[in-house]
Amino acid sequence: MHSTFSDPSSHPSSLQLTPHPSYSILLDMTQAATALAHPNIAFIKYWGLKDAANRIPANDSLSMNLGGLSTRTTVTLDPSLRADVLILNGERVSGAGLERAQLFLDRIRRLAGNPSPVLIESENNFPIGAGVASSASGFAALALAGAAAFGLDLAEPALSALARFGSGSACRSIPGGFVEWRTDAETGDSFAKSFAPEEHWDLADCIAILSESHKKTGSEVGMRLAGTSPLQAARVADSARRMRLCREAILNRDFNALAAITELDSNLMHAVMMTSQPPLFYWQPGSLAIMQAVKRWQVEGLPVTYTLDAGPNVHVICLKEAMDETLTRLRRMPGVLDVLLGFPAGPARLLPGDSQVSLQKV
């Protein structure tokens, strides 16, 4: 989508080329880098853009990175190529998917002053395009590997700000643990940062997979419709309150408070989707059945809650002590193809080895 990519000079403070305070990137002459990033699940979701050109969300959001699920991406500069090549899960990608990656890489090329085409090789260990935030981990990994391959050493806020131009939620997959994405109303800076490390709270995300198919209406298209819903303004107006309550619940490890605000936020986002013009119905009958089951399980004393991104699959968040029971119950639900498991995870990181790129503390 050409409209969501603007010249980097429009947000100079978000893309300063300053060293990360904890790490330095050491590159040899291979000009290749490999990065690994995790998807994230948003407890407070963003849906809609206030400024599409600069990728500024309609509201702030809050999420948790998901360990056990990951995207591994290698970017190799290759001047012999006529154009960028994208290999995703072993298959060459063309069309809109390739164009989206090319537009994102163009931002990195402008920052580096290097027009070289690249080979992008990316692999996910979970379904893509089905509401499990594959674009978040994908563009977070691409931002880190791409910046490193082109010799850019970006501080974490700048890397997060960069990642949002590929996918908004990708900026939340750059930092680790429990993360909030905020936009400064005065400066326009918009990036994510961690407010609690991954070890802060032993939660588990049991993701009930009801469909592994690529959704017909992707998040990029769906978000353009948010403003057509009469409920969007009310959802955005209340977002600061929900952010505060959710942040407090996580910092206090108050699961009941987390459950209440997480479910409300998910329901609000899907209400906007269902009342947009045209309406978007991401829920399937199995999705609603799981949400209703979660409410019954809560009455029985099981510490669980639900949230859904833009897709039919249901993220059932629970205390780790309740994980085995939650997994057993979900696997018995009609229509559940599989249950993926995620835990709080660390930040996106460069991988040493075949890419001959290392990340060292200074």
Structural domains counted in the chain: 2
Instruction: Classify residue 357: in a domain, yes or no.
Output: no
pTM for this structure? 0.87
268: tokens are 């609000």
The answer to whether residues 89 and 212 belong to one domain is no
The answer to whether residues 109 and 178 belong to one domain is yes
The residue to which tokens 């769906």 are assigned:
222
**Residues 82-136 pLDDT 10s:** 999 999 999 999 999 999 999 999 999 999 999 999 999 999 988 775 556 688 9
pLDDT of the residue at 159:
98
pLDDT of the residue at 342:
95
Picking from 123-127, 201-205, 333-337, 350-354, which range would have the lowest pLDDT averaged per residue?
A: 350-354
The 3-class SS string of 8-76 reads: HHHCHHHHCCCCCCCEEEEECCCCEEEEEECCEEEEECCCCEEECCCCEECCCEEEEEEECCCEEEEEE
Picking from 15-24, 258-267, 352-361, which range would have the lowest pLDDT averaged per residue?
A: 15-24
Read off the CATH number of the domain in which 249 is found. Answer: 3.30.70.890
pLDDT of the residue at 9:
32
Range of the domain at 28: 2-7+20-200+345-352
In Å, how far are 9, 80, 149 from 28, measured between CA atoms? 29, 19, 10
**Residues 139-190 pLDDT 10s:** 999 999 999 999 999 999 999 999 999 999 999 999 999 999 999 988 999 9
CA-wise closest residue to 180 among 259, 264, 64, 263: 64
Instruction: Classify residue 330: in a domain, yes or no.
Output: yes
pLDDT of the residue at 132:
65
CA-wise closest residue to 359 among 153, 205, 162, 121: 153
Cα gap 258→252, rounded to integer Å: 10
Instruction: Classify residue 15: in a domain, yes or no.
Output: no
